[in-house]
Chain A
Amino acid sequence: AQTVTQSQPEMSVQEAETVTLSCTYDTSENNYYLFWYKQPPSRQMILVIRQEAYKQQNATENRFSVNFQKAAKSFSLKISDSQLGDTAMYFCAFMMRGTSYGKLTFGQGTILTVHP
């Protein structure tokens, strides 16, 4: 079974600055996906970024980038030029690749507050 751990229950950052959210995971699998989802106060789950484990290059999406360290089983999210709209709960999640189902295992979440 897979586990995902987010050790930072809450983080805060000033607008326009950079913040990094941490995530570690445990799995015996070699082929999987990792995700960061954002849950704003509306509680809609929004996909922020996806990393494929077989790709060494770190994924980036505009202001969002990841630092994927497969050997260390670490998957952190960096948010650059933070905006007020980035205030949300962020979840790290794991999905096995190549199966007939796409079950997600989530971390406990990190509440990020961006201050003006």
Chain B
Amino acid sequence: SQTIHQWPATLVQPVGSPLSLECTVEGTSNPNLYWYRQAAGRGLQLLFYSVGIGQISSEVPQNLSASRPQDRQFILSSKKLLLSDSGFYLCAWSGGTRGLNTEAFFGQGTRLTVV
């Protein structure tokens, strides 16, 4: 069966510090990977998605970047955090060896507080 791991669960970082959130998927190959952000407990906004190693698409301009160094690894980064980067970040995957994208599966999320 497929599983998705995301860490850390909680992070408090000062303004101007770097950020690295990691997500890995097990039990499938060549998944599509996504980073979503949920601000103030409301809707989720897609930040980045990737259909393969090294292939990153950005949905919204922002202070963050994403990378996919390995097939099942997706990293969300920032060189200098802003207060507005605070939020709940969710990694997700779809497709892979399951075939066509028919639903997305989510990690447990990272609550990021920038102070």
Contacts and interface: CB of A to CB of B under 8 A. Distances in A.
A97 B2 CA distance: 21
Nearest to A107: B43
| Main secondary structure on B side of the interface with A | strand
Contacts of B59: 103
Given A108-B43, A109-B42, A101 B103 contact: no
A89 B109 CA distance: 15
Contacts of B106: 44-45
| Main secondary structure on A side of the interface with B | loop
Interface in B68-98: 88, 90, 92, 94-95
A102 B44 contact: no
Nearest to B9: A43
A106 B51 CA distance: 20
A104 B100 contact: no
A33 interface: yes
A50 B102 CA distance: 9
Interface footprint category on A: 20 to 34
A43 B106 CA distance: 10
B64 interface: no
Contacts of A16: none
A59 interface: no
B108 interface: yes
Contacts of A89: 41
B104 interface: yes
B87 to A, nearest CB: 11
A102 B104 contact: yes
Interface of B: 32, 34, 36, 41-46, 49, 51, 57, 59, 88, 90, 92, 94-95, 100-106, 108-109, 111
13 contacts: A33-B102, A43-B88, A44-B108, A45-B106, A47-B105, A97-B100, A97-B102, A99-B101, A102-B32, A103-B34, A103-B49, A105-B46, A108-B42
